[in-house]
A and B are shown apart, each in its own frame.
Chain A
Amino acid sequence: MTVNFPALGLILLLPALGVVFNLFFGAKLGRSSVNLVGPGVVFVAFAVALVGFIKLLAMPAGGSLSFTLWPWIHAGKFAVDVSLRLDALSGVMVLVVSGVGALIHLYSCGYMGEDPDYARFFTYMNLFTLSMLTLVLADNLLLMFVGWEGVGLCSYLLISFWYTNQQYAYNGRKAFIVNRVGDAGFILGLLTLFSALAAHGVWTLNFVEMRGHIALVGPTIATAAGLLLLLGATGKSAQLPLYVWLPDAMVGPTPVSALIHAATMVTAGVYMVARMSFLYRLTPAAMDTVATIGAVTALFAATIALVQPDIKRVLAYSTISQLGYMFLGVGVGAFSAGIFHVMTHAFFKALLFLGAGSVIHALGGEQDMNKMGALRIRLPITYLTMLMATLAITAIPGFSGFFSKDAILGAAFTSGHTGLWLIGVLTAGLTGFYMFRLFFMTFHGSSRVEHERLHHVHESPPVMAIPLIVLAVLSVIGGWVGLPETMLWGNAFGRFLVPSVGEFKPALEFSEAMLTLISVVFSVLGIALAYVMYIQQPELPGKLADQAQALYEVLLNKYYVDQLYDWIVTRPLFFLSRYILWRGVDTYGIEGVVEGAGLTVETGGGVARRAETGNVQHYAFVYLLGAIGIAAYYLYRLWH
């Protein structure tokens, strides 16, 4: 049942007010006002969302809160409004987005403290929050797309925040354009679905209504729509083939990386698939595609992360890899497991990024891990919190990441996708390795920090430390809502989400404990290897790199995918634009026609003027010719 809850509107209104305030008054009223308003609106939005969520919990299963802000499109039988709906799925997402978002806004007050474009930063961050919340709370696909586009825009604005740097601006453009390719897929999927439904007389894009009539669509359309929407999701959530923007997006400020490229925007794709679970359940083909893309991307990104020297890049590839897990989860039908991982990942990945930001801030901008080391003494809070996050991401039992990744891998196996399960397990091993490689290189070992930087290595101020601590706590306990069936209250999270995304029905029976054990073993092996290579024998990585030079180069250069895309997409497009469209069509064609018109007149005039000889007798001769002509005409008349 649906209850009207006007306060839902506040959840969007508050960030919107934040945008307006920061945009028009932020620069004039100074940092302290922006410090108050920027994070403040998000915190209040979180509070409102929490109130709504509690109300939702009190309702029977399947209930929801809704509110219509204003009517939007009403055309004949088709109607779509700016309406919000808080059900189990969007409730979870709203809390994650606004909660983690609020913490990151708070952190930014410290991190961006000396940046002159302070107000602009928070304007963009608030705008992003507004868009993401719209995306998550939308009750129809069209409004969700508005939010979808909005977060893409804000991603661009924030990646190229320091736009005076050419490379940063380029990376921002790259992110936006790659996203656009995905968006095209999204629109096409939306239209496919819409027209298929409309052909049966159902004119709607509202999720609940679509769900009710989805059987009308038929498996072919469902597959087509599912795959097209998936294309959009791969763009937004950085999966193969449209992941290339995410590593380069790390040039943005670290809070941006944390918020957008770890915790929230990149999860929009997963959310969308979960939201459209009613569609995907109709098409095993599309689901398998989702799962395969997820698993392969997870492995692919993990291999690249093994050798990257930049701390943020390792985290970026780690994000891509973990997102792959989420897609694997929803692809095998375990939608709630995927969303579970979205939540836990938001906690520990945001923490990892903020911690990395803390390290970078302390080192005055250094991001190369080869120039870090032994920082655990100087940065105790950062060290401890990042340890929590690293343990969570490597799925050590008890931590949040363990429960969510375990749920996904278990579902992958028991749904019959054993191959994908194996890939997931291997990736878990790699994850253990590269994450602890990051951890050991940064905080342990001998100090390789440059001498000048060593002096002002200091722990972060409270405004940055508190979010770290909160997120660390969440990274530890956040997974306890989704315990395995046999323990305590079991998978409360999964049960909670059933009305929104349906239930997962395993195809085979297998010992869950055995599966869990296998993946934990792999993770621990990875961690052990990292320990050996980076603490016990630090010269080993160098030697291995020399021995397997070719492989090392390939991994370091990210399989040369960027270069590949450059050759098969970018260059042809540039060529098309520059030589065919610009030179050919525009300069020669259109301008040619326009100038040609003028040229014709000019040439015609040039020819015609030669009749003006200035000699009166020539003119008189023409008269004579005319007279002869007229007489001839009358002669003709006379003759006949």
Chain B
Amino acid sequence: MPLWLFAFLAALSVISALGVVLQRNPVHCLLALIVTLLAIAVLFIGLGAVTVGFLQAIVYVGAILVLFLFVIWLLNIQALPAERSHLALKFFASVGAAALVAELFVFFARAPATPPAAHPTPDYGSIAQLSVSLFSDYLIAFEVTSVLLLVAIVGAIALARRVPEARASRAVPAEARAAESEGW
């Protein structure tokens, strides 16, 4: 990947990430997040991870973030007024994050630089290579992940559904309810 492209994408992702963190309106944050994720998807493709990159765009942006959007609409989340509270937390959080970045930078600066494999295999990052790996080396993880998704679905529905109607009909007279249960 050419350096200018990388620089552009890096700047884009950083600025939009900052947008996520700093915007007042949640929908604006979401939009910023979409930009960030798409920039990262392009970076993935640039690094040779084509499948993952497209998956990122389709699954992450297209499904997950849309879910976010739906929830924001559903709950009608409004933009909260700017608050001047928790200044101490904000300050120390920023300092902490900066410290973390600094440490990680040091790591990366000192880490032995492994030159990227100049000529990866032609099908590097292709869906075929990925699938072979998934269904052989990581088969169990793959299966467990599918179970995880099932559990997540059930859990999400259970958590998010309304209180069952039976409670609301407590006002219904006893005979009617008895009759209800008698008549199959």
A residues lining the B interface (CB < 8 Å): 617-618, 621, 624-625, 627-628, 631-632, 634-635, 638
Contacts and interface: CB of A to CB of B under 8 A. Distances in A.
A618 B96 contact: no
Contacts of A627: 100
27 contacts: A617-B86, A617-B89, A617-B93, A618-B89, A621-B89, A621-B92, A621-B93, A621-B96, A624-B93, A624-B96, A624-B100, A625-B96, A627-B100, A628-B96, A628-B99, A628-B100, A628-B103, A631-B100, A631-B103, A631-B104, A631-B107, A634-B107, A635-B103, A635-B106, A635-B107, A638-B107, A638-B110
Contacts of B99: 628
Interface of B: 86, 89, 92-93, 96-97, 99-100, 103-104, 106-107, 110
Contacts of B100: 624, 627-628, 631
Contacts of A634: 107
A628 B99 CA distance: 7
B103 A632 contact: yes
A621 B92 CA distance: 9
A638 B107 CA distance: 8
Given A635-B106, A638-B107, A638-B110, A624 B97 contact: yes
Contacts of A632: 103
A632 B104 CA distance: 9
A634 B104 CA distance: 10
Given A621-B89, A627-B100, 17 more contacts: A617-B86, A617-B93, A621-B92, A624-B97, A625-B96, A628-B96, A628-B100, A631-B100, A631-B103, A631-B107, A632-B103, A634-B107, A635-B103, A635-B106, A635-B107, A638-B107, A638-B110
A632 B89 CA distance: 22
Nearest to A625: B96
Nearest to A627: B100
Contacts of B86: 617
Contacts of B92: 621
Closest 3 CB pairs of A and B: A631-B103, A624-B96, A628-B99
Contacts of B93: 617, 621, 624
- Tell me if A's interface is mostly helix, strand, loop or mixed: helix
A598 B144 CA distance: 49
A621 B103 CA distance: 17
A635 B107 CA distance: 7
Nearest to B111: A638
B111 to A, nearest CB: 9
Nearest to A621: B93
A268 B125 CA distance: 113
A638 B100 CA distance: 16
Nearest to A631: B103
A625 B92 CA distance: 10
A628 B103 CA distance: 8
Contacts of B106: 635
A569 to B, nearest CB: 68
Contacts of A628: 96, 99-100, 103
Contacts of B107: 631, 634-635, 638
Nearest to A622: B96
A348 B97 CA distance: 107
Contacts of A625: 96
Contacts of A631: 100, 103-104, 107
A625 B97 CA distance: 9
A263 to B, nearest CB: 92
A204 to B, nearest CB: 84
Contacts of B103: 628, 631-632, 635
A621 to B, nearest CB: 6
B66 to A, nearest CB: 26
Contacts of A617: 86, 89, 93
A624 B95 CA distance: 11
A516 B99 CA distance: 115
A578 B93 CA distance: 60
Contacts of A635: 103, 106-107
A625 B86 CA distance: 18
B100 to A, nearest CB: 6
A627 B97 CA distance: 10
A466 to B, nearest CB: 98
Nearest to B90: A617
A634 B103 CA distance: 10
A26 to B, nearest CB: 76
A632 B106 CA distance: 10
A632 B93 CA distance: 17
A511 B98 CA distance: 121
A634 B99 CA distance: 14
A237 B89 CA distance: 86
Contacts of A618: 89
Contacts of B110: 638
B143 to A, nearest CB: 31
Nearest to B86: A617
A628 B104 CA distance: 9
A638 B103 CA distance: 11
B5 to A, nearest CB: 30
Nearest to B104: A631
A633 to B, nearest CB: 10
Contacts of B104: 631
Contacts of B96: 621, 624-625, 628
A628 to B, nearest CB: 5
